[in-house]
Amino acid sequence: MLLPLLHHLGPRWLFQRARWACERKLGVWEWRSPLRPWKDFAGPGFDPVEWRKSAPRLPIALLDRAYLAPQLEAWSVEAGATPVAEADAFARGYARVFSHQLVEVGRPDRWTRNVLTGRSLDPYRHWSRIDDAGADDIKGVWELSRFSWAYALVRAWLRDGDDRHVELFWSTLEDWMTRNPPNRGPNWMCGQEASFRLIAVTYALQAFRDHPATTDERLTLAARLADATADSIADHLSYALSQQNNHGIAELIGLQTAARFWPSLCGFPHWPEDVWRDLLPEQCDALIGPDGGFSQHSTNYHRLLLQLLTWSELVERSVRDTLPEAVRAKAIAATNFLATLMETDGTVPRYGADDGANLFPLSGCPFEDFRPAVGAALALFKGERLPSGPWDESALLLLGPMAASAAPALRPPADFADAGVFQLRHARGTLFFRAPSEFRTRPSQADQLHVSLRWDGEWIAEDPGTYSYNAPGGWDGFAASRFHNVVTVGDSDSMRRVGRFLWLPWTGCDVRWQFDGVTASHLGFPGYKARRRVVKVANGFVIVDRLTGLLKQDGRFTLRWHGRTREGLEQLTVACSAASTEETATALPDGGEGWHSARYGSKDPSWCRRISATGDDVTFVTALGCSLRLEAKSFFADGEEYPLE
């Protein structure tokens, strides 16, 4: 395992990881970021009276609530969800977690209790002494402290103007700060989580800054949170940057947020103002590819990236500045990438890991609707607008009033070779193909050659989601090859999993465009070559899989198609060149197949078609929307012949 680690991640990465592990075990992290009281932060340098006069204002601080309320309420009616009900539920002790169900969180230990299991972590220990890979999924502890509930309170206040929403925000923040002093307990373990929390508090503070409930004492509390958060992030920023994912970008933007809205605190030795400005372009250049693909190989983390960059640009505009041109160029590329993948209903082909992140829940649209995030990014970075709808609320509450909606230019099917993402589009549907030629950053799932299929407005075959990064019962986040729509060899994966978030070696694909589709192959299954060809035909799509033993040895090959409904999967016609067997599985226990996770932390029974055959050279052909016949060297779609090669 050492040689692949050195090859893909380099000796510097290994040295840093070993150093950090030693520092944590020896207590260096605890010494560097000791337990401290809140009074140690935002001392004489912060004046709440001066802050009211000079602190930058975001668009949300300039909106006329009474003028906007009727339009906001109309969007609530159209979306079928009102934030007033959610705000009232929060007042009764219920919070929406992972953009999904309301969970009772009213007990005193709510900030350290896992919303997924009900178990609590020690609230008194230094964060570096708490294990994030224990029996529970740590994200269940962190979720409430992301402060997503703050956005519901802002939206509710904008609709009805009731003071109770503002008071509830401040009293809840006071409770959190009382129970989570700096560096104590699990909610200080992750700088990215702290950044999300600071962004939410900053946004709510901007919305409520002129409200009587926002007293000088409470402004000082917010300043102390900003100071302690920036201090914590800066102490361990090198660790976040080394991960080569959204952590580094999020934490730099957390520093930017503190520096711009609390400039009187800047200049402290731990977080000079220019740290984020120097490093953010480097991170964006390293992690956003030339075609806009993101290092995390995930559509939901790509949405999070857009939301972070949208916030970052808004923060700069609040001080009459803008992000560096290099960052803006990367933001535009990343926006185009996700806008191209997005369907008219706002859904995207899910691929990669998904922890339920949605930084700005500022509309009544469901979690899987990407139009709120993509629409705001299009408007901010490109001056384009989506057709109007409830998703416009997010752009309005972030960017302020904009010109009337107009559809952006039509986008061609995705051809993002650098990111390994391709699309074929048909009048009735979409074929999404995942075929990365090379991984420059850690792959999150063994999903080479995965295909998702959308037909007549529904995703009938897709990636089943993530569920949990660390749950008992063998659940591994649906990351293995068998949870993707691919052909596997025996029980093998296309890469070997050596950690929760690490696969080795990083198996790339040989990709070739043809006049009617895309062909890709890889050697991830030792001793075998896996080859997949996706073709657009007159009435639909055809997927051709060929598995070959490199030494003419037999193998047991299984083609899987995962979908939420059995009826959807039955629309697929499958033929095989060898004698085959087929079975349909649903809700297999202990981390098995036949599950779908639409939201992180929850799973529902779904379906998996498994077609298996044995041989040294086996071909599977799957068709959607057309009749299919397989012969020795050709397949026939609605009677038209196509060569297999």
Contact 463, 452 (CB under 8 A): yes
Whole-angstrom distance, CA of residue 16 vs CA of residue 12: 6
The two structure tokens encoding residue 36: 């401290």
Is the link from the previous residue into 269 a cis peptide, with omega within 30 of 0?
Answer: no
- Closest by CA to 376, choosing from 354, 340, 400, 409, is 400
| 617 has pLDDT over 60 | yes
Read out DSSP for 494-533?
Answer: SSEEEETTEEES----EEEEETTEEEEEE--STTEEEEEE
Contact 166, 133 (CB under 8 A): no
pLDDT tens by residue, 330-358: 999 999 999 999 999 999 999 999 999 99
- Closest by CA to 388, choosing from 400, 367, 409, 402, is 402
> How big is the chain by its Cα radius of gyration, in Å?
25
Angle at CA of residue 287, ends 414 and 378, nearest 5°: 50
Determine the distance from the C-alpha atom of residue 218 to the mean position of all C-alpha atoms in its chain, rounded to a whole number: 32
pLDDT tens by residue, 125-166: 999 999 876 668 899 999 999 999 999 999 999 999 999 999
pLDDT tens by residue, 210-227: 999 999 999 999 999 999
Query: Which whole number is the average pLDDT over 578-596?
Result: 95
| Bridge pairing between strands 640-643 and 634-637 | antiparallel
pLDDT tens by residue, 61-76: 999 998 889 999 999 9
Whole-angstrom distance, CA of residue 448 vs CA of residue 437: 9
Q: pLDDT grade, residue 242 (50/70/90)?
A: confident
Contact 339, 411 (CB under 8 A): yes
Whole-angstrom distance, CA of residue 630 vs CA of residue 577: 7
Contact 12, 21 (CB under 8 A): no
pLDDT of 239: 84
pLDDT of 39: 94
Q: Which of 102-111, 151-160, 441-450 has the lowest mean pLDDT?
A: 102-111
pLDDT of 549: 97
Partners of residue 200 on adjacent β-strands: none
CA distances for 609 relative to 68, 523, 571, angstroms: 50, 24, 11
Whole-angstrom distance, CA of residue 274 vs CA of residue 15: 27
Task: State the distance between the two ends of the chain, measured CA to CA, in whole angstroms.
Answer: 36
Q: pLDDT grade, residue 195 (50/70/90)?
A: very high
- Closest by CA to 486, choosing from 519, 425, 530, 527, is 530
| 474 has pLDDT over 60 | yes
Q: Give the E-state strand segments of 59-118 in sequence order.
A: 94-96, 102-104
Partners of residue 581 on adjacent β-strands: 612
The two structure tokens encoding residue 540: 């639909």
- Exposed/middle/buried for residue 375 (C-beta within 10 Å: 0-12, 13-18, 19+): buried
CA distances for 416 relative to 139, 419, 488, angstroms: 31, 5, 25
Whole-angstrom distance, CA of residue 563 vs CA of residue 556: 23
Query: Which whole number is the average pLDDT over 163-181?
Result: 98
pLDDT tens by residue, 394-441: 999 999 987 656 666 667 888 999 999 999 999 999 999 999 999 999
CB < 8 Å & 24+ apart, contacts of 495-499: 495/443, 495/446, 495/524, 497/446, 498/1
pLDDT of 151: 98
Contact 212, 191 (CB under 8 A): no
Which DSSP category does 34 fall into?
-
Contact 239, 29 (CB under 8 A): no
Q: Is the pTM here over 0.75, yes or no? A: yes
Specify the higher pLDDT residue, 239 or 430. 430
